[in-house]
Amino acid sequence: MADAKYDVLIIGAGIIGLSTAMHLLQGHPNLKVGIVDKNDEIASQQTGHNSGVIHSGIYYKPGSFKAQFCVEGRASMVQFCEDNGIDFNPIGKVIIANSDEELARLELLHERGTANGVPDLQLVDSDKLKEIEPHVVAKRALWAPHTAIVNYKEVTQVYLNRVEDTGGTLHLNSAVRSIKRGSGSTVVKTSSGDYEATNVVNCAGLHSDRIASMMGANPGVKIIPFRGEYYTLKKESETLVKGLIYPVPDPELPFLGVHFTHNVKGYVEAGPNAVLATAREGYRKRDFSPKDFADTMTYMGFWKMASREWKTGFMEMNRSLRKGLFVRDLQKMIPEIKSSDLGGGGSGVRAQAVDGSGRLLDDFVIEHTEGSVHVLNAPSPGATASLVIGKRITTLAEEAFSLN
Ligand SMILES: Cc1cc2nc3c(=O)[nH]c(=O)nc-3n(C[C@H](O)[C@H](O)[C@H](O)COP(=O)(O)OP(=O)(O)OC[C@H]3O[C@@H](n4cnc5c(N)ncnc54)[C@H](O)[C@@H]3O)c2cc1C
C-alpha cells in the first residue's frame, strides 16, 4: 500500500525539480504533484553550492539549448526576482584577454554573444577596463553589464512556496531506493515510504543516471562528479574586485576557468577549479565513496575521457593541491593578488554527464519516454535558466504524460 499517490512525482528538490513542479501546477492546477528529495532541505546539492551568477548567454553555441535557454532565462530570472522581492545585483561581468590566442577567442565570444542576443555586450580596451575593474590588467575585455548575482537557494525557496501554495507536496529525507514500473503506474520506494505515481520526472542531478537506470531507461551517459573549489577573498582584499571577472574559457572544456565572483551575501569568491571527485557528493578532498568511485573507474567513457584530457586533469589536480598555482592563475587577471589575500572557501560538485565515447556533454540533455522525463545533464547556466527549463520540461511532460 503506497503512502501517497501522485499524478506526477518529481525526484529532486533542486532548482530544476522545483521549477518543474511550479510550472506543472501553474498549467494544470488539478494535478497531484509530489516531490521527493533525499536530504533534509531543498537546494542542498548543485543549486546550493554554485557561483550564484545570473549568466547573460555569451559563451554558448548559437542554436544550442544553452544559448536558447540562457538569454531568455536571464530575463525571466531577473523579472522573477523583481516580482518576488528576491535580492539580486546586476553587478556586470568582464571576460579578459591578453595573448593573441585569447584575443581571437574573445572576438569569437563577442560574435557569439551578439548572435545569442545578449543585451549591451561590448568589447572594451584596457583604459575602459580600468574604469570597470581598476585592478585588472588585460589588453581587451568583453563587458556584459547586465550579468547579475543572486542567491539561488532563496530563488528555489520561492519556487517551493509557489508549489505548496498551489497544492504540491514535498517529502524531504526521502532517498529513492528502487523504482518499480507497472502498467500505468510506478512505485517509487524511498527511505521515508513508498509513493505511487502515474508519471515520474527525474531531476536528481548528481544521481540522475542512476534514477534513469532504476526506471529501466538506458541513460547513455554516466555522471562523473567534478568538484569545484573556491577561496574567499579576505575582507581587506575585497576592494580588488568590483564585479565579476572571468578569463577567456578553453573552448575544449565545458568549464569556465577560475574566476572572481561577488556574492550577494557580500563576500568575493575566487574559483572554482574542476577536479575529479571520489564521491558524487564529495565536497571535501577527503570524501570518498567506494560505490561512486567504482562507478567512475569501471566506466569505459571515463577512461576514454581520461586518455584525452589527462593533461588538463593533472593540471587541475595540481592546482587544487598547490595554492601557489591557484594564485598564479588568479594573477593572470589581477597581478597584484597574493596568496595572503585568500582565505578558506567552499566547494560545489558538478554533475557532468560523460558519454560512452568519453565526451563531456556540454549542453542540456532532457530525454522523455512514455510516463517519464529524465534531466540527464543540467550544467551551468542551469540555475539562470531554471524557469525556462522548468517550462520546457512541462511541455515535454504534457506530451509524454498526455496531460492536455
Ligand atoms: C560549482 C558550480 C558552480 C555553478 N555556477 C553556476 C552559476 O553561477 N550560474 C548558473 O546558472 N548555474 C551554475 N551552476 C549550475 C547550476 O548550479 C545547476 O545547473 C543547477 O543547480 C542544477 O539543478 P538541479 O536541480 O538539476 O540539481 P541539484 O541542485 O543537484 O538537485 C538535485 C536534487 O536531487 C536530489 N536527489 C539526488 N538523488 C536522489 C535520490 N536518489 N533520491 C531523492 N533525491 C535525490 C538531491 O538531494 C538534490 O537536491 C553551477 C554548478 C556548480 C556545481
pLDDT at 404 over 80: no
Which H or E element spans position 11? Answer: strand 4-11
pLDDT at 157 over 90: yes
For residue 100, how many C-alpha atoms fall within 13 Å in the half-sphere facing its CB?
0
**Neighbouring C-beta atoms of residue 79, cutoff 10 Å:** 11
Centre of ligand 1 to C-alpha 337, Å, is 31
- The CATH topology of domain 222-355 is D-Amino Acid Oxidase; Chain A, domain 2 (3.30.9)
Burial of residue 330, with CB atoms counted within 10 A of its CB: 0-12 exposed, 13-18 middle, 19 or more buried: buried
- In whole angstroms, give the CA distance from residue 46 to residue 37: 13
- CB of 14 sitting under 6 A from ligand 1: yes
Region of poorest pLDDT, from 83-87, 93-97, 212-216, 254-258 = 254-258
- CB of 277 sitting under 6 A from ligand 1: no
Residue ranges matching CATH 3.30.9 in the chain: 222-355
- CB of 353 sitting under 6 A from ligand 1: no
State pLDDT tens for residues 35-83. 999 999 999 999 999 999 999 999 998 889 999 999 999 999 999 999 9
pLDDT value of position 264: 87
Mean pLDDT computed over 203-214: 97
State pLDDT tens for residues 216-245. 998 899 999 999 999 999 999 999 999 999
Looking at every residue in the chain, the average pLDDT score rounds to 95
Region of poorest pLDDT, from 56-60, 305-309, 320-324, 374-378 = 320-324
Mean pLDDT computed over 254-279: 90
Pocket test for ligand 1, best of 9, 19, 35, 45 (most atoms within 8 A of CB): 45
Q: What is the grid cell recorded at 224?
A: 562523473
Nearest to 25 by CA among 3, 1, 8: 8
- CB of 204 sitting under 6 A from ligand 1: yes
pLDDT value of position 143: 98
Q: What are phi and psi of 229, to 5 degrees?
A: -105, 140
Q: Where are the beta strands (DSSP E) in 136-293?
A: 140-144, 148-150, 169-171, 176-181, 186-190, 193-202, 221-229, 231-233, 244-247, 259-262, 268-271, 275-276
Identify any residues that bridge with 7 across adjacent strands, giving them in sequence order: none
pLDDT at 310 over 90: no
Q: Which CATH architecture has domain 4-47+153-220+362-400?
A: 3-Layer(bba) Sandwich (3.50)
Give, as one character, the DSSP assignment of residue 268.
E
What's the CA angle centered on 12, arms 9 and 15, to 5 degrees? 115
What's the CA angle centered on 259, arms 156 and 134, to 5 degrees? 115
| Closest atom of ligand 1 relative to the 12 alpha carbon | 34
Mean pLDDT computed over 198-220: 95
pLDDT at 265 over 90: no
pLDDT value of position 124: 98
pLDDT at 254 over 80: no
Pocket test for ligand 1, best of 41, 42, 47, 387 (most atoms within 8 A of CB): 47
| Closest atom of ligand 1 relative to the 70 alpha carbon | 11
Which positions ≥6 away from 101 have C-beta within 8 Å? none
Burial of residue 307, with CB atoms counted within 10 A of its CB: 0-12 exposed, 13-18 middle, 19 or more buried: exposed
Nearest to 16 by CA among 30, 40, 41, 35: 35
Residue ranges matching CATH 3.50.50.60 in the chain: 4-47+153-220+362-400
Strand 176-181 and strand 122-125: pairing? unpaired
Centre of ligand 1 to C-alpha 387, Å, is 14
- CB of 278 sitting under 6 A from ligand 1: no
Using a pLDDT cut of 70, give the percent of the chain over it.
100
Helix (H, G, I), strand (E, B) or coil at 188: strand
Which H or E element spans position 66? Answer: helix 65-84
Centre of ligand 1 to C-alpha 26, Å, is 23
pLDDT at 26 over 90: yes
Query: CB–CB of 242/397 below 8 Å?
Result: no
- CB of 254 sitting under 6 A from ligand 1: no
- CB of 172 sitting under 6 A from ligand 1: no
pLDDT value of position 370: 84
Pocket test for ligand 1, best of 35, 46, 387 (most atoms within 8 A of CB): 46
Centre of ligand 1 to C-alpha 271, Å, is 18
State pLDDT tens for residues 99-124. 999 999 999 999 999 999 999 999 99
Mean pLDDT computed over 162-187: 95
Mean pLDDT computed over 360-371: 92
pTM beyond 0.85: the answer is yes
Centre of ligand 1 to C-alpha 136, Å, is 31
Region of poorest pLDDT, from 4-8, 67-71, 167-171 = 67-71
Mean pLDDT computed over 324-332: 93
